[in-house]
Structure 1
């Protein structure tokens, strides 16, 4: 079985306080953190079990909060990166953590999807960490939210990032982007037009639910993070019988981790080899 898994456990705390994020500066209780750690360790145990070795797995961690400031997420990425049946293990991160732990990971398998949040961290500190990733040969993308006030920050990033590093721009939720603004963002990220407007998805074929699934901390399997109907449970294997081609039941899909899997878009070719970490085949 060739399967991509989007894992999101109960972690909901973040060390940043971005004004547009509901998880800004949220703190999980010690009990919640222990529950998140136990859930992640259970998932890692499943992914590394001997009976998984006949499968080919790719894993993207998409925590509501910031995972890499927690030792168990760093440990999970290192462990999973060394499994021969795991093609890719990646995580979405604000890169506020240190990066030296990556020396223990397999750089051919581990990858980071990094977001720069102006005002939350000194620019030079963020840039130094990105350069460290490049020096270590760790696959990564770097991005920013396309708010008008972020344009100059994005231009500075593009000028300072290594040439091979893809700079992505997410259209800002709730902000209507004018054609002029869109042209400015597209000059920095040629793929920005895919993010600018939600994609009509109702009734269209999507890889989620067939070769891509979403898994929560309880092991509940859904086709993606945005469709709540359940396909079964990861740990009892009941999800396997439900894997099948199926059209999207939603009217639109407006998040990259969702619409990248739409079969009507060419993004599997655009991001060939880098779908999870958002690294284009030819940035």
Structure 2
């Protein structure tokens, strides 16, 4: 059995105050941080013991995880497991990446987001250069707000071609054709993000080969369908895995729609689904075209 897990613990604090994020500059009380650490340590122990399952793990914290030592320790420990193929995390790269020298660089990866106005571009690029020096796979992305276009263009020009830069459509923002073309010139796959994907009753890998796990072990099909299908720690999730259609009308977040079977994005991102790196990047993307509407 091979299983991808999107893990999200109680952590909801972040060191940035992005105006488009509800968790900006949120501070978790000590008791919540302690609960988050204990939940993560329990998850790592489960992963270490579950040697009959081929694992891959993406941490999707509401806040910033890598400023917390226990996330760094967890990623190092998980990367060394022989039955784990990939461990990745969504991060703003605020934490120095030198700790990754202790991890298995063949198994670890980062999904990094650049937030103009929160960090200088020089500082962010220095983090990216250090990741390259360490031999760590990573993608870089931005939220596609109009005020981010110029910084995103400068970032793309400064990054090596081998680094994939993705763009997330901003929630609630409409993109007329000329704006969509501007962002697609930076991310040839932006078309998949710019419009929601019809998903009701469509087959999805979620709940079959990929699941969402909360800090208490609750297993869901994905982050966007709240109905539990079992618990990680009592083993009830195993019998719940099955092919099934989506119960939501639309899916508009990459970590969800990348698993919709009709879109075929698991093949587009083969080998880099968790860290959001397309297969064949950059050689197969010399001509930028928008993705078809769904």
Q: Secondary structure at the match of 2:236?
A: coil
SS at match of 1:264: helix
2: distance between equivalents of 1:16 and 1:282?
A: 33
Q: Deviations over 1:130-150 (max 9, x none)?
A: 111111110000000000010
Q: Deviations over 1:178-204 (max 9, x none)?
A: 110000000110000000000000010
Q: How far has the Cα of 1:177 moved from its partner?
A: 0.8
Match of 1:260 in 2: 258
Q: Which residue of 2 aligns with 1:14?
A: 14
What residue number does 1:44 align with?
44
What is the DSSP-based 3-state SS (H/G/I as helix, E as strand, rest coil) of the residue aligned with 2:66?
coil
What TM-score results when the alignment is normalised by the length of structure 2?
Answer: 0.95
Gaps of 5+ in 1: none
Instruction: Choose which of 72, 75, 82 in structure 2 pairs with 1:74.
Output: 72
CA deviations on 1:66-110 (whole Å, 9 max, x unpaired) are 000000000000000000100000000000001110000011000
**Equivalent in the alignment of 1:24:** 24
1:54 deviates by 2.0
Distance 2:17 2:25 in 1: 5
The residue matched to 1:131 in structure 2 has which SS? helix
Q: Please show how residues 123-142 of structure 1 align to structure 2 within 5 Å.
A: 123-142=121-140
Structure 2: gaps spanning 5 or more residues: 282-294
The aligned residue for residue 51 of structure 2 is 53
**Shift of residue 24, structure 1, vs aligned partner:** 0.3
Check whether the contact 1:131–1:162 (CA below 8 A) recurs between aligned residues: no
Q: Which of 63, 66, 71 is the aligned partner of 1:65?
A: 63
Find the counterpart in structure 1 of residue 98 from structure 2: 100
What is the CA RMSD across the aligned residues, in angstroms? 0.5
Cα distance in structure 2, aligned partners of 1:137 and 1:236: 37
8 A Cα contact 1:205 1:264, kept in partner: yes
The aligned counterpart of 1:213 is 211
- Counterpart Cα distance in 2 of 1:171 and 1:147: 8
- Per the alignment, residue 2 of structure 1 pairs with 2
- The number of residue pairs the alignment matches comes to 281
Q: Which residue of 2 aligns with 1:276?
A: 274
> Which of 128, 136, 143 lines up with 2:141 in the alignment?
143
Name the CA distance, whole Å, in 2 between partners of 1:94 and 1:100: 15
CA distance in 1, matches of 2:116, 2:190: 19
How far apart are the structure 2 equivalents of 1:118 and 1:218? Answer: 34
**Poorly superposed stretches of 4+, deviation over 4 Å:** none
SS at match of 2:263: coil
TM-score, normalised with respect to structure 1 = 0.99
**Mapped partners of 2:33, 2:167: distance in 1:** 31
Q: Which residue of 2 aligns with 1:181?
A: 179
